[in-house]
């Protein structure tokens, strides 16, 4: 200890200089000039802004899996007209402030043709004006806010939006389960609230009574109080506007309370991680899948096989699947631009907007409408059973 203080005193004067030196060094390292490769072999770059550390890091890790498979596919075929495709990752922790910094960094990086991300609506919107000014595509493939693409014609959405998801979920609750009384539990975030609003609207229009709606915070871990309250109201079904981490906890604690009811959840719980976290407790959960299990397209079968071989897991989740599709959409837009002999940010935007009947995994085919959202989103009911998601068929 004494030595430490002596050392501190000895270097007190030069310390600020030293610190400034370290920061300066960091700044120098931060601006590496793009390596001028052979002109014809210069890679095609896309940026990825997402949560690779912090609370949502696990979703970012899923993205990386989807991207890696897409990159391997294209680059093993020799890339686009001989140019390899590469992605540049920047971590935003899906925090709006960092998303804006990354957007500034990406938009002045002339190598980047388009950007994938962000994970949350608020992080996406925080960056949108910056990408919009740079005329750069921001393909936010996870957020499902109905107005996500409102900030401008460079913002694209790949997930079926909340109104569509809620309609499908309400449909499952009513048509399949015949539920008359519904309780809603949701995350108190833009996502959770959108699920709640749309489910309440869809259910009420079909004459289902909403017995209660309960909000909880993303940091909540103990749901017993809420569950006890909901249990006392005896609903036929409970709808969740949650991610898989909280869904697993909620269903485990519901089992502890001996609260037997039918749980349904938004498609955000569709991940094998649900079973690792929730075990047997999540059996019987009904949700929607963006991809069709019952009759998988050849592309989906191929992707699932590659995914299982590579990551030793049974099936891909929504996040990896949408990441895979998102990158392939950008590659396709770049390929179309190259065909027309002009590859730049604007051509990628225009080609992406013109995407029509593009064979994909998270949907059978992808067509963007005038609002740069899915023209015909399809969702499929699935049920969690003994560690797997199975297509749900009415018993």
Partner 1 sequence: MRQARTFLAPAAALLICALPLLIQDQYVYHVMIMAGIYAILTMGLNLLLGCAGMFSLGHAAFYGLGAYFSALVTLRLGWPFLPALLASGLFTGLIGGVIAFPALRLKGIFLAIGTMGFNEIFRLTAINAESLTGGPAGLTGIPRPELFGYPIERSVDFYLMIIVLCALVYFMFNRILGSSPGRALIAIRDDETAAQSVGVNITRFKVAAFVFSSFSAGLAGSFFAHYMAYISPDNFGLAESFSILAMVALGGMGNLPGSVAGAALLVAGPEAFRFMQEYRLLIYGSSLILVVLLLPEGIFGWMRPKTPAAKAGLQRTAGTGGG
Based on CB atoms, which residue is closest to partner 1, 145 or 270? Answer: 145
Provide the minimum distance between the beta carbon of 1 and partner 1 in the complex, in angstroms, as a whole number. 10
Tell me which residues touch partner 1 (CB under 8 A).
4, 7-8, 11-13, 15-16, 19, 22-23, 26-27, 29-30, 32, 52-53, 57, 89-91, 95-97, 100-101, 104-105, 107-108, 120-123, 125-126, 128-129, 145, 150-151, 188-191, 193
Based on CB atoms, which residue is closest to partner 1, 103 or 383? Answer: 103
Provide the minimum distance between the beta carbon of 45 and partner 1 in the complex, in angstroms, as a whole number. 16
Based on CB atoms, which residue is closest to partner 1, 25 or 305? Answer: 25
Provide the minimum distance between the beta carbon of 352 and partner 1 in the complex, in angstroms, as a whole number. 22
Cα 298 to Cα 360: distance, rounded to the nearest angstrom: 10
User: Residue 378 CB: number of other CB atoms within 10 A?
Assistant: 17
Cα 293 to Cα 38: distance, rounded to the nearest angstrom: 44
Based on CB atoms, which residue is closest to partner 1, 8 or 228? Answer: 8
Residues in contact with 129: Cβ distance below 8 Å, sequence separation at least 6, in sequence order: 151, 152
Provide the minimum distance between the beta carbon of 96 and partner 1 in the complex, in angstroms, as a whole number. 5
Based on CB atoms, which residue is closest to partner 1, 42 or 147? Answer: 147
Based on CB atoms, which residue is closest to partner 1, 23 or 294? Answer: 23
Provide the minimum distance between the beta carbon of 334 and partner 1 in the complex, in angstroms, as a whole number. 24
Provide the minimum distance between the beta carbon of 4 and partner 1 in the complex, in angstroms, as a whole number. 7
Cα 52 to Cα 62: distance, rounded to the nearest angstrom: 10
């Amino acid at each position: 200890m004494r030595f430490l203080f002596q050392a501190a005193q000895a270097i007190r004067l030069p310390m600020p200089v030293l610190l400034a030196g370290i920061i300066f060094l960091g700044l120098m390292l931060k601006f590496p000039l793009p390596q001028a490769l052979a002109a014809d072999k210069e890679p095609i770059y896309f940026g990825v802004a997402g949560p690779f550390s912090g609370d949502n890091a696990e979703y970012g890790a899923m993205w990386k899996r989807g991207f890696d498979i897409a990159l391997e596919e294209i680059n093993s075929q020799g890339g686009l007209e001989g140019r390899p495709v590469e992605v540049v990752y920047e971590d935003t922790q899906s925090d709006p402030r960092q998303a804006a910094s990354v957007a500034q960094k990406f938009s002045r990086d002339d190598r980047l043709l388009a950007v994938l991300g962000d994970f949350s609506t608020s992080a996406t919107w925080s960056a949108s004006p910056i990408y919009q000014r740079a005329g750069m595509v921001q393909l936010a493939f996870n957020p499902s806010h109905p107005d996500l693409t409102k900030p401008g014609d460079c913002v694209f959405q790949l997930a079926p939006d909340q109104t569509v998801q809620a309609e499908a979920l309400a449909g499952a609750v009513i048509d399949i389960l015949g539920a008359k009384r519904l309780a809603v539990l949701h995350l108190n975030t833009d996502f959770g609230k959108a699920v709640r609003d749309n489910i309440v609207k869809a259910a009420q229009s079909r004459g289902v009574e909403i017995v209660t709606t309960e909000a909880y915070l993303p940091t909540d871990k103990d749901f017993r109080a809420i569950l006890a309250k909901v249990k006392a109201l005896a609903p036929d079904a409970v709808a969740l506007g949650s991610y898989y981490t909280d869904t697993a906890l909620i269903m485990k604690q519901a089992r502890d309370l001996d609260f037997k009811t039918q749980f349904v959840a938004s498609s955000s719980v569709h991940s094998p991680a649900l079973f690792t976290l929730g075990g047997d407790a999540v059996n019987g959960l009904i949700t929607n899948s963006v991809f069709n299990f019952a009759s998988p397209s050849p592309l989906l079968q191929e992707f699932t096989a590659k995914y299982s071989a590579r990551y030793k897991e049974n099936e891909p989740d929504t996040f990896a699947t949408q990441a895979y599709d998102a990158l392939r959409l950008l590659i396709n837009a770049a390929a179309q631009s190259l065909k027309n002999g002009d590859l730049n940010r604007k051509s990628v935007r225009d080609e992406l907007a013109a995407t029509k009947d593009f064979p994909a995994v998270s949907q059978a085919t992808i067509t963007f409408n005038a609002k740069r959202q899915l023209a015909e989103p399809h969702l499929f009911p699935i049920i969690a059973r003994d560690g797997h998601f199975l297509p749900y068929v009415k018993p």
